[in-house]
Amino acid sequence: MKKILILANNSGGLYRFRKELMQKMIEEGHQVYASTPFDDNIKELKEIGVSLMETPINRRGMNPVKDFGLLMTYFKMIKEIKPDFIVTYTIKPNLYGGTVAKLLRKQYAINITGLGTAFQNEGFLKKMVVTWYKFVCKKVKVVFFENLENKEVFVSNKILKEDRCICLNGAGVNLEDFPFKQYPENEDVLHFLFIGRIMKEKGIEELFYAINRLVDEGYKAVLDILGGYEDNYKEKIDEYVNKGIINYYGYQSDVRPFIEKAHCFVLPSYHEGMANTLLENASMGRPLITSNIHGCLEAIHENGYLCNVKDQEDLFEKMKQFLELNHDEKVRMGFNSRKHVEEVFDKRKVVENTIIYLIREENDASNTYYSI
């Protein structure tokens, strides 16, 4: 039995995307601890047997001076728990937690769930993060990536050698939690759905343009939006709600009823690790429209359309193209969505492969590689 410490930046995301992994660890006899801000699903995490430590983290910005307290928190925690293995998710747990794990000579693994804004522009922030990752990755057992492009960024920047990189198919999707649902028969008004943080980098401005133009041109469509504000778009959303072209529902802990009534899911994101919302919508049998970038394009297989990133005209054309399909064509796309996630993104396969590389004997993983 091993003590496994997981460092994450959000308790809701930890439960939603890593529940099955933690359950598998516990089933195999390991003791699982998790350090995370207490946002959501605390009760559910405790019920599956995870020992929790509340750890506040500011998810925005990278300032080592301001975040020094997080480094010290991790140091004290790891000294106290004495874990046999540490697993980190997202940039701050990766860098601060990885630093402490390295200094204390603990075995650890890092998960790159997306590169985020730090890698989007050349400048001081990118140089700092690249240098820091190089330090942290010198002693790491393995670094998990959710798409091949993110892996290549690390290799090309000489952060990491190829032999310590593992590409998984994202976090996978639980096919039972997100069951296939019959495509909506009623198409009097077609519901496009967006789920995610409301921010520029999710393509929200392009989405506003596209839905507004579609309605102006006489198409009977509406955009359902689920998610909290990261950037200040409240005034714009209120305007479109008043015009009747957007339904805004805020953050929802259970997105499945909204997916079930949707005709198509749209995610015109600028960058992703592997977009879980795409996988969840596909699992429930919904067509997809998303950006032609790694982290999104892997979800498309005869079940939707890819649009150029940051291209509002192309997004409009793809949404228009979908609107002009007949009902049977849309239904067929929905079936293809479910088939694709069953074949490629089944959560059980992702969890099994992760466990092999994390905590089982090295020779168990010698010939195992699971990627898109």
CATH no. for residue 13? 3.40.50.2000
Report pLDDT for 360.
57
**How crowded is the C-beta side of 274, counted as CA atoms within 13 Å?**
27
371 domain-assigned: no
Q: Same domain, yes or no, for 338 and 353?
A: no
Q: Same domain, yes or no, for 297 and 359?
A: no
Q: Same domain, yes or no, for 357 and 270?
A: no
pLDDT band at 64 (very low <50, low <70, confident <90, very high): confident
206 domain-assigned: yes
Angle formed by the axes of helices 204-216 and 312-323, nearest 10°: 50
Report pLDDT for 117.
72
The residues, ordered by sequence, that sit 6+ positions from 251 with a Cβ below 8 Å of its Cβ are 226, 227, 228
pLDDT at 338 over 70: yes
Q: Same domain, yes or no, for 211 and 314?
A: yes
CA distance 361 to 28: 13
Find, among 274, 182, 264, the residue nearest to 224 by Cα: 264
183 domain-assigned: no
Q: Same domain, yes or no, for 148 and 219?
A: no
Report pLDDT for 206.
98
180 domain-assigned: no
Q: Which long-range contacts (CB under 8 A, 24 or more apart) does 248-253 make?
A: 249/224, 249/225, 250/226, 251/226, 251/227, 252/226, 253/12, 253/40
Q: Same domain, yes or no, for 16 and 71?
A: yes
Compute the average pLDDT of residues 33-46: 95
CA distance 360 to 349: 16
Q: Same domain, yes or no, for 37 and 161?
A: yes
pLDDT at 329 over 50: yes
Percentage of the chain modeled with pLDDT above 70: 96
pLDDT band at 371 (very low <50, low <70, confident <90, very high): very low
360 domain-assigned: yes
Higher pLDDT, 178 or 253: 178
Lowest mean pLDDT among 7-16, 123-132, 241-250: 123-132
181 domain-assigned: no
Q: Same domain, yes or no, for 153 and 226?
A: no
pLDDT at 248 over 60: yes
Count how many domains the chain has: 2
Please state the pTM of the whole predicted model: 0.87
CA distance 184 to 227: 23
185 domain-assigned: no
pLDDT band at 372 (very low <50, low <70, confident <90, very high): very low
Compute the average pLDDT of residues 286-305: 97
For 127-248, list the strands marked E by DSSP: 142-145, 165-167, 190-195, 221-226, 246-248
Report pLDDT for 356.
86
Mean pLDDT for all residues in the chain: 92
Q: Same domain, yes or no, for 225 and 78?
A: no
Lowest mean pLDDT among 51-65, 123-137, 300-314, 318-332: 51-65
Higher pLDDT, 360 or 9: 9
- Other C-beta atoms closer than 10 Å to the C-beta of 112 total 26
Q: Same domain, yes or no, for 152 and 214?
A: no
pLDDT at 364 over 80: no
- What tokens does 196 get? 């995610």
Report pLDDT for 241.
96
pLDDT at 362 over 70: no
> Which range marks the domain in which residue 276 is found?
190-344
370 domain-assigned: no
Q: Same domain, yes or no, for 350 and 339?
A: no
Report pLDDT for 366.
37
Lowest mean pLDDT among 87-91, 95-99, 126-130, 261-265: 126-130
Q: Same domain, yes or no, for 81 and 201?
A: no
Compute the average pLDDT of residues 58-62: 73
Find, among 230, 179, 111, 190, the residue nearest to 338 by Cα: 179
